[in-house]
Amino acid sequence: MTNSNNQVMAVEFKEDKVYLWLEDGRVIGNPLDWHPWLAQATPEQRANVEMYELSVYFPDLDDGLDVEEMVKGMPPRLSDKKTLLAP
């Protein structure tokens, strides 16, 4: 069962970090360099965001952030799709 307090209420970008504001008052953040796809996004792409209970999704970028993974404070692993698309 998920905890409804994990609902993402807002996404904020400050300097070199991305922050998620949760319904229970917590603010979690990670360095943007952990998410190169998001670091390289335009302000418009970053502004187009869908917020869910345990994640946020950026439709223009076809990618998202997972609350539980961000709470762990560890850089995410690259998916096979991203590895194949990397230059």
Please tell me the distance from the alpha carbon of residue 51 to that of residue 70, in angstroms, as a whole number.
15
**The tokens 């209970």 sit on which residue?**
53
Please tell me the distance from the alpha carbon of residue 63 to that of residue 40, in angstroms, as a whole number.
13
Give this prediction's pTM: 0.80
Domains of the chain: 4-85 (3.30.2020.40)
Tens digits of residue pLDDT in 60-80: 999 999 999 898 888 877 654
pLDDT at 32 over 70: yes
pLDDT at position 4: 60
Contact 42, 35 (CB under 8 A): no
**What are the backbone angles phi and psi of residue 63, rounded to the nearest 5°?**
-155, 170
**Which residue in 14, 25, 19 sits closest to 65, CA to CA?**
19
